[in-house]
A and B are shown apart, each in its own frame.
Chain A
Amino acid sequence: MEFKKKQKNFIFFITLLIIVMLIVVFVVERQAMKTDTGKKVITIAIVQDDLVQDYTTNYYTSWLESETNCSIQFDYIPHGYKKEYIKALLTANSGKIDCVILPQNQSIISKEDFLSYAEKGLIYSLNRLTAEGTNYYNILHKSDNSLPEESLLINSNLYYFPNAETSRTSKNFQTFWINTNWLKALGLQIPKTTDELHDVLIAFRDKDPNNNGISDELPLVGCESNYSLQSYNFLLNAFIHNDPINLRFYKGDNDSIYSPITNDFRDGLKYCHRLYSEDLLADISFTFTQNQILETVCSPEDIVGAFTSQSIVDNIYANAPAILSCYIQVPPLIGPRGYKNAIYTTPKPSIGAFIPANSKNPDEAFKVLDAMLSEEGALIGAFGEYDVDWTFSLGDDISLYGNKAEIVTLNYLKSKTQNKNYAGAGVRYVDETYIDGVAWNGDNSLVEYLDARAAKVYEPFYNREIQEDSKYLYTQLGNPTELTNYCDDMINKFITGELDINSDYHWKAFITKCKELIGDDFLSNPE
Chain B
Amino acid sequence: MEVKKIVLVALLCVMVSFTLIACGGRSAGNQATQQEFLESWVLSANLEAKETPDELYKAALEEDILTIYSVTTRLFDTKKYFETAYPGLTVEIKDIRSKDAIKMIRTNYDTNSFDCDMLICSDSAGNLYNELIEPGLILPYIPWDIEPRIKSDHINTKLNFLDEVILFAYNSELYQQSPISNIWEITENKYKDKIVMASPLSSFTTYGFCATVLKEEEKMLTAYKLYFGTEPVLPKDKSIGEYFWEQAAENIVFVNTSDEVAEGIGTGDNSYALGIMLSSKLRLCELGYSFEPIYELEPFAAVYTPNSVMLAAGAKNINSAKLFIRFLLGETDGTGEGYKPFCTSGTWSCRDDVADGNDIPLDEIDVIKYANSFIDGNTEYLDQFFKSLLKENITQ
Contact = CB atoms under 8 A, between A and B. Distances in A.
B73 A398 contact: no
Interface string B357-396: 0000000000000000000000000000011101100111
A322 B263 contact: no
B199 A325 contact: no
A457 B270 CA distance: 9
A443 B98 CA distance: 10
B253 interface: yes
A395 B391 contact: yes
Given A322-B79, A398-B254, A184 B96 contact: no
B270 A460 contact: yes
A325 B74 CA distance: 9
Main secondary structure of the interface of A (DSSP, over half): loop
Interface stretch (A78-86, A113-121, A400-408): A400-408
B131 interface: no
Contacts of A394: 387, 391
29 contacts: A180-B287, A189-B286, A190-B288, A322-B76, A394-B391, A396-B201, A396-B386, A396-B388, A396-B390, A396-B391, A396-B394, A397-B199, A397-B390, A398-B255, A398-B390, A402-B255, A403-B394, A404-B395, A440-B256, A442-B100, A444-B73, A444-B95, A444-B257, A444-B259, A453-B260, A453-B263, A456-B263, A457-B268, A460-B270
Interface string B74-96: 00110110000000000001111
A321 interface: yes
Contact of A398 (B286, B287, B394): B394
A457 B286 CA distance: 19
A326 B286 CA distance: 15
A322 B395 contact: no
Contacts of A457: 263, 267-268
Nearest to A404: B394
Interface string A489-515: 000000000000000000000000000
A187 interface: yes
A184 B286 CA distance: 8
Given A189-B286, A331-B268, A394-B387, A442 B96 contact: yes
A398 B206 CA distance: 14
A404 B396 CA distance: 5
B109 to A, nearest CB: 19
A69 interface: no
A68 interface: no
Contacts of B96: 442-444
Contacts of B257: 440, 444
Interface string A291-303: 0000000000000
A34 interface: no
A192 B266 CA distance: 13
Contacts of B199: 397-398
A453 B395 contact: no
Contacts of A331: 267-268
Interface in A308-328: 321-322, 325-326, 328
Contact of B256 (A325, A400, A445): A400
Contacts of A397: 199, 201, 390, 394
Nearest to B100: A442
A402 B99 contact: no
A388 to B, nearest CB: 15
Interface string A174-216: 0000001101100101101000000000000000000000000
Given A396-B201, A403-B396, A445 B286 contact: no
Interface of B: 73, 76-77, 79-80, 93-97, 99-100, 199, 201-202, 253-257, 259-260, 263, 267-270, 286-288, 386-388, 390-391, 394-396
Contacts of A453: 259-260, 263
Contact of A402 (B76, B93, B256): B256
A444 B76 CA distance: 12
B395 A402 contact: yes
Nearest to A403: B395
A442 B202 CA distance: 7
Main secondary structure of the interface of B (DSSP, over half): mixed
Contacts of A456: 260, 263
A169 to B, nearest CB: 15
B287 A184 contact: yes
Nearest to B97: A442
A396 B387 contact: yes
Contact of A322 (B80, B254, B286, B386): B80
Interface string A451-486: 001001100110000000000000000000000000
Contacts of A181: 77
Query: 8 tightest A-B contacts by CB?
Result: A189-B288, A442-B97, A396-B390, A396-B387, A442-B100, A325-B73, A440-B256, A322-B76
Contact of A443 (B95, B259, B388): B95
A443 B97 CA distance: 7
Contacts of B396: 403-404
B268 A402 contact: no
Q: A325, A396, A404, A441: which has the most chain B beta carbons within 10 Å?
A: A396
A183 to B, nearest CB: 6
Given A183-B287, A325-B95, A402 B260 contact: yes
Contacts of A190: 267, 287-288
Contacts of A442: 96-97, 99-100, 202
A445 B95 contact: yes
Given A403-B396, A460-B270, A398 B76 contact: no
A404 B199 CA distance: 11
B266 to A, nearest CB: 10
Contacts of A440: 202, 256-257
Interface string A428-449: 0000000000001111110001
A444 B97 CA distance: 8
Contacts of B287: 180, 183-184, 189-190, 328
Contact of B95 (A184, A321, A328): A321
Contacts of B93: 321-322
Contacts of A461: 269
Given A396-B387, A444-B259, A460-B269, 7 more contacts: A322-B76, A325-B95, A403-B394, A440-B256, A440-B257, A442-B99, A460-B270
Nearest to A457: B268
A449 B202 CA distance: 13
Contacts of B73: 325, 444-445
B213 to A, nearest CB: 18
Given A396-B394, A443-B95, A402 B254 contact: yes
B1 to A, nearest CB: 15
A192 B173 CA distance: 14
